[in-house]
A and B are shown apart, each in its own frame.
Chain A
Amino acid sequence: MDATVNPAVRQGQGIFSRYRRVDTITKLTVIAATVIALIYILLPIFWMLKSSFQTAAEIKQLPPKWIPDQIRLDSYQDINLLIPIWRYIFNSIYVSAAAALLATLIGTSAAYVLSRFRFPGMTLILVTILVTQLIPPITRVFPLYALIQDAGLLNTYTGLILSYAGFSLPFSILLLKGYFESSCPPEIEEAALVDGCSYISTFLRIILPISLPGLAAVTIFTFLNAWNDFLWASLLLNSSEMKTIQVGIGDLTAEGGGTRYVSMFMAACVLATVPALIMFIFVQRWLVSGLTSGSVK
């Protein structure tokens, strides 16, 4: 039997098994590194959650207590004494949702014509939008602040909503443009146009309905962008009841309120995270495909 086996194959098997052993070591290293990375990723989230269920005294105990004695929800009830949290969360939801809808509405119509038609000045418009995407936010904050002030929009939600929509527009347009180019077959609308549909009704009746997944992704993306913002909201709003949740938490951190009322503070952090979490679960499924078709190209 031995004589019939090609020596080259036997040699190949040898190499194969040697690599197998190396591969096992590689795999174990990767697993170990992943476990360490996961601890790094999850520890703060665990710490926030468990602290929100403890009393302030228990959190400050030394050495630190990893598991709460009992799950207490007191801090979630008392948090209103610290900051008007529900009001802040409502403010954030209102501003973020309005900005998201506005940006999606404006972004979709622009992305549609930029992906389907050729018209004079089109390249220039695309470049303008791209450049805006690349400007670091800090380089436009100061004049924009003055501009908003001159327009009388300081301390109004309108100013905040308009800015958030504007900040997210470039990325939304690029993402949607990619989406229209890769996921919406042009044949459908060509047929509609031949049948005598006007441009606008083709867009409203045919394109919008079939691109709902892409629109939803962009809406949620803009929502999260606005929800997460701190710098701009802290500059534009100074009346205390208009603050967004991020500004509320940022101010508490700066004032050291985080140390004195730490359990309530952690509860506030949890509450500031939950709406984003819900959005995230909702969007997770087609986020990868959205990114692939949109911006990696």
Chain B
Amino acid sequence: MELRKNLFCYLMVAPALLITLALGIVPMVTSLWWSFLDYDLIQAETAGETFVGWRNYQVVLSDQRFVTSLVNTVVMTVMVMALVVALGLLLAHVMNAKYRGRAIVRTLICAPWFVPPVVAAAIWVWMLDTDRSPINALLMDWGLIDGNLRFLTDTTDAGPLSLPLASVVAVRVWNGLPFVVIFLLAGMQSISRSLYEAASIDGASLIGRFRYITLPLLKPVLGVIVMLLLITGFGHFEINFIMTGGGPQDMTNVAAVYAYQQAFNFFRFDYASAASGVVFLMTSVICIFYIRAQIRKDK
């Protein structure tokens, strides 16, 4: 009986495990292995794949373009995370409150969810076109600016911050918001209404109720969301790639786009693997922090 049960379990799990290993674990380990090899795709036939130790990491980390893209990766990820969580809390609150027309507001807030990232990037590129941007037109009408803002091409910068970087961040926030809102809404709905009723009888203000009931009880959900946003943010590729391809002057370049360029523009799979190895290290650090926090909580 026990044997039959185990056999059944292994048979049921086997396909999923095989696919996960083949498409997840094996490529990941291979990628780490490649980051220690000499792997120039153009010369691979003749040069072979020899072990070169940390050379690829040294090459990549002393490349000014990679350092820039790493800084951008962190800056953009943190900005996206902060904005998405702040806006997400506001909108989830609005979706959770009771009033007439709530269903419509809910649908409208979730609208960007069904817009594919590529389409989102493409529309925004058009919306942020220097000459024809409706946003520029509005700002001009209101007298807030003198000349058109060059959303995606302005090259004045302040440290890692620049207008193109802010524009790409805005689009990433736009694209990532609905998922976080739904996640937070699910969390808010699991908070008992009686807590709020008790608090309002005691005379707590709206802000007080949010500060002392909603926030503390949402903490576990917020923890998961922040971790997910950091992990997906560090490896983010699509919107940066489509909107600017990393430009102008690498101002919106991120680690994933840099790795892509190394692999498919310069055919250096070794440098690409080293760059993604750095991304992997960053996400691992986040995971370890998160798991440690979880363990401490369980104790």
- Interface residues, chain A, CB within 8 Å of chain B? 12, 15-16, 19, 22-23, 26-27, 30, 33-34, 37-38, 40-45, 47-48, 51, 59-60, 62-64, 66, 106-107, 109-110, 112-114, 117, 119-120, 122, 125, 128-129, 131-132, 134-144, 146-147, 162-163, 165-167, 169-170, 173, 199-200, 203, 224, 227-228, 230-231, 235, 246, 249-250, 252-254, 258-259, 262, 265-266, 269, 272-273, 276-277, 279-280, 284, 287-289, 291-292, 295-296
A112 to chain B, nearest CB (A): 7
- Specify which chain B residues have a CB less than 8 angstroms from the CB of A107 in the assembled complex: 16
Query: Can you list 11 A-B pairs, Cβ within 8 angstroms, ordered by A?
Result: A64-B137, A106-B19, A110-B13, A136-B234, A139-B31, A169-B16, A228-B117, A246-B118, A269-B122, A272-B116, A296-B224
Take A45-B111, A136-B234 as given contacts and tell me if A273 and B24 are in contact as well, using a CB distance cutoff of 8 Å. Answer: no
- A41, A131, A262: the one contacting B126 at CB < 8 Å is A262
Determine the chain B residues whose CB is within 8 A of the CB of A135 once the complex forms: 24, 28, 280, 283
B10 contacts A119, CB within 8 Å? yes
On whether the beta carbons of B205 and A228 are closer than 8 Å, the reply is no
Contact B283 A134 (CB under 8 A): yes
The answer on a CB contact under 8 Å between B205 and A134 is: no
Which of B116, B245, B279, B283 has the most chain A CB atoms closer than 10 A to its own CB?
Answer: B116
CA distance A264 to B25 in the complex (A): 42
Complex-state Cα separation, A287 to B129, whole angstroms: 36
Contact A249 B119 (CB under 8 A): yes
The answer on a CB contact under 8 Å between A165 and B127 is no
Quick one: given A37-B91, A134-B283, A137-B235, are A63 and B15 in contact (CB under 8 Å)?
no
B294 within 8 A of A: no
| Chain B interface SS verdict (over half) | helix
Closest CB-CB distance, B43 to chain A, in whole Å? 16
Contact B127 A47 (CB under 8 A): yes
Smallest CB separation, A270 vs chain B (Å): 9
Tell me the smallest distance from the CB of B114 to a CB of chain A, in Å: 4
Give the one of A44, A228, A249 with max B CB within 10 A.
Answer: A44
B60 interface contact, C-beta 8 A: no
Whether the pair A272, B119 counts as a contact (CB closer than 8 A) is: yes
Q: Contact between B134 and A200 (Cβ–Cβ < 8 Å)? A: no
Please indicate the chain A residues that have their CB under 8 angstroms from the CB of B5 in the complex: 117, 119, 199
Q: Does B260 make an interface contact (CB < 8 A)? A: yes
- State whether A44 and B15 are in contact (beta carbons under 8 Å apart), knowing that A143-B27, A296-B187 are contacts in the complex: no
8 Å CB contact of A144 from B27, B126, B174: B27
In the complex, A185→B46 CA distance in Å? Answer: 62
**CB of B167, distance to nearest CB on chain A (Å):** 12
Contact partner of A22 (CB less than 8 A), chosen from B105, B115, B121, B207, is B207
Is A45's CB under 8 angstroms from B242's CB?
Answer: no
Chain A residues within an 8 Å CB radius of B114: 224, 273, 276-277, 279-280
Residues of A within 8 A of B12 (CB): 109-110, 112-113, 203
Are A162 and B28 CB-contacts (below 8 A) given A34-B94, A142-B34?
A: no
Distance in angstroms between the alpha carbons of A203 and B232 in the assembled complex = 35
Residue with the greatest number of chain B CB neighbours at <10 A, chosen from A107, A119, A287: A119
The 4 A-B residue pairs with the shortest CB-CB distance in the complex, in nearest-first order? A136-B235, A166-B23, A132-B24, A110-B16
* A228–B123 CB distance below 8 A: no
Asked if A63 contacts B137 (CB within 8 A), the reply is yes
Docked-complex contact A128 and B242, CB < 8 angstroms = no
Q: How far is the CB of B12 from chain A (nearest CB, A)?
A: 4
A44 touches B87 (CB 8 A): no
Q: Are A19's CB and B31's CB within 8 A?
A: no
Closest to A170 in B: B20
Q: Does B195 contact A (CB under 8 A)?
A: no
Are B205 and A166 in touch, CB under 8 angstroms? no
**B109 touching A106 by the CB < 8 A rule?**
no
Q: A41-B111, A47-B127, A110-B13 are in contact. Are A140 and B24 (CB under 8 A)?
A: yes
